[in-house]
Amino acid sequence: MLDIKFVREQPELVRENIRKKFQDAKLPLVDEVLELDRKNRAAIQEASELRARRNQLSRANGPLFGKLKKAEGEARDAIQAQIDANMAAVKADDERLLALEQQESDCAAAIRARMLQIPNIIDPSVPIGPDDSYNVEVQRFGEPLVPAYPIPYHTEIMERLDGVDMDAAGRVSGNGFYYLLGDVARLHEAVLAYARDFMIDRGFTFCIPPFMIHGNVVEGVMSQTDMDAMMYKIEGEDLYLIGTSEHSMIGRFIDQILPEDSLPQTLTSYSPCFRKEKGAHGLEERGVYRIHQFEKQEMIVVCRPEDSRDWYEKMWRWSVELFRSLEIPVRQLECCSGDLADLKVKSCDIEAWSPRQQKYFEVCSCSNLGDAQARRLKMRVKGADGKMYLPHTLNNTVVAPPRMLIAFLENHLQADGSVTIPEPLWAYMGGKKLLTPKK
């Protein structure tokens, strides 16, 4: 969410940013915000003047009551008339003041509702384009290979390892769920544990957050569009299941003042994630690719504004380092303006190589949200000079094992159906270096 002062002073820049994100339907919001802001400030000014006059009239009646006790006849009547006139004016001002306070409240709510829809100002380096087909490949890491033998669909690989039961999950929970079994389930947990320790070794504090959050936290950490498309709400409760641990991890700082010397906050969190995943999906998005429930290791940074660019670079590079340590080729893809969620200043995807599809697919997403989440959540930092400012927030996937497992199994599958385990995971797999097919 933008600062109202910024919208007031730079309305054309806000409009141009909306155009760059190909959201022209939102352009009227800027004029609506400006008009509501004008009315709101006028109401605040008038209310301030009324309070000052009311106080002045109330003070004026004090001496008049003293004179009234001593006065007689016409003098007494004149003083009483003045007191009555002052009290009538105070009462009239009180009624007008109530109306103005209601106007202030209504305008503030209307302004916030519109400001929540206006996208954040994107970084100048973001490529301009209407959708993800305009995303730009920046760099590749590792050689993408296609073996001489065929690579089956990922659930088929898992089934040969006796590691997945989609049919039972469908009977129990419906589409978009799965049972992981045996070595595949163990591999799932090994990847999470390795990712956790990978980030701890880089100075991050491990955290397990709440898996449900209040509606005001949801509003603070994500756009309304994303909220409606992703979040599951608990019926009869002001609680939502998290779509990623970033939601509750950033929400941890709601209404908090952080001392500057506590920055940066570098946290890595484990959680299950729950997503509606609405809409029709193609052949490549069945199996465990697009699902309603999965687990993830996340990295979150809260930092000074001047440091957020450096943290952004570090964070996506750690994702590359982790995947390469597991011998999976990846590439970095810069997200274009139309593919950025409204709160994001800049974002990139890390995509893993799929030998079966002979193309890359998304496994991590790194985002710099500037001060948008901090402003929504009223997170503040108290600087050494005593002044308050808003921190920047960033997040990035360390690993989300369902998609990581797809990349892992395809890239480590051997001609005989076995799957090799790279050295970093041996300790997490009880020393096992090879998974052999059971079927």
Task: Give the chain's domains with CATH numbers.
Answer: 4-115 (1.10.287), 132-435 (3.30.930.10)
Q: Are the C-beta atoms of residues 14 and 7 closer than 8 Å to each other?
A: yes
Q: Is the dihedral of CA 378, 384, 386, 389 positive or negative?
A: negative
The secondary structure of 13-54 as a DSSP string is: HHHHHHHHTT-GGGHHHHHHHHHHHHHHHHHHHHHHHHHHHH
Local confidence pLDDT in tens for the 439 residues of the chain: 899 999 999 999 999 999 999 999 999 999 999 999 999 999 999 888 888 777 776 666 667 666 666 666 777 767 777 766 766 766 766 778 888 889 999 999 999 999 999 999 999 999 999 999 999 999 999 999 999 999 999 999 999 999 999 999 999 999 889 999 999 999 999 999 999 999 999 999 999 999 999 999 999 998 776 777 789 999 999 999 999 999 999 999 999 999 999 999 999 999 999 999 765 455 556 788 888 999 999 999 999 999 999 999 999 999 999 999 999 999 999 999 999 999 999 999 999 999 999 999 999 999 999 999 999 999 999 999 999 999 999 999 999 988 999 999 999 999 999 999 999 999 999 999 999 998 7
In eight-state DSSP terms, residue 264 is P
pLDDT in tens, 210-261: 999 999 999 999 877 677 778 999 999 999 999 999 999 999 999 999 999 9
Q: Are the C-beta atoms of residues 375 and 1 closer than 8 Å to each other?
A: yes
pLDDT in tens, 187-213: 999 999 999 999 999 999 999 999 999
> Residue 295 and residue 280: Cα distance in Å, rounded?
22
